Amino acid sequence: MSAQPQFEPGFVSIEAYLASEMVSEIKHEYVDGQMYAMSGASRNHDRIALNLGAELRTHLRGKPCEPFTSDVKVKVGKHFFYPDSMVVCDETDPHQYYSETPVLIVEVLSKSTRRRDETLKRRLYQTIPTLQEYVLIEQDIVDVEVCRRSEGWVSNHYFLGDDVPLYSVDMAVSVADIYERVENEDMQTYLIEIQQQTLKNQPAVPTT
């Protein structure tokens, strides 16, 4: 998620939480009967989420599986989260505002949410029976981490020059496309190298 959640004290029932989210101008995640207000995202965070979301939307158009953005919740037991992206392939899912059956979940990391995304959410997401892949994407450096059920949830890391295979949706996306227009040191270095290589490969201008 985008930023450190702000704790709002007091036990809240699931029914009251869902009802309040329908009218609230601020999104809240829900853990153990407590609501946590979510703050806004950085530009880099949003660029990454939109880039991967666009790739998923294009790839899945006309297919049973459907991608969703961070406005749709995922329900894990008695907890609710807003992942940055997720893909649902269950056309019988009756819920309009959350899903219990994602096959793919994506979180874009930040300094304030890293611990939550890498511990609590990782542990809870892995209990979802349908989930096949959990993707964590850095925004301050270039690093895409994919954990797969089929591999015992071990971490696989992908960097610039790599394609990221997402077996749950039968697609691959390049790391460069995920980080398009993202402003960090890794991307700046990469773009300079690409520019230099392009200039090097240009044919020499004949002299007269």
CATH number reported for the structural domain that contains residue 85 in this entry: 3.90.1570.10
In a domain, 12, yes or no: no
Closest CA relative to residue 124, chosen from 69, 77, 186: 77
In a domain, 16, yes or no: no
pLDDT greater than 80 at residue 55: yes
Dihedral (CA of 131, 91, 47, 51) sign:
positive
In a domain, 174, yes or no: yes
In a domain, 207, yes or no: no
At which residue do the structure tokens 């460069």 appear?
176
In a domain, 3, yes or no: no
In a domain, 22, yes or no: no
CA distance 1 to 120: 12
CA distance 108 to 111: 10
pLDDT in tens, 133-177: 999 999 999 999 999 999 999 999 999 999 999 999 999 999 999
Q: What domain range includes position 153?
A: 41-198
- Look up residue 188 and give its two tokens: 């700046």
In a domain, 79, yes or no: yes
CA distance 132 to 44: 26
How many domains is the chain partitioned into structurally? 1
Which residue type is seen at 119? Answer: T
Phi, psi of 20 (to 5 degrees): -70, -35
pLDDT in tens, 93-129: 889 999 999 999 999 998 877 888 899 999 999 999 9
* pTM of the predicted protein model: 0.89
Q: Taking residues 62-81, what's their average pLDDT?
A: 96
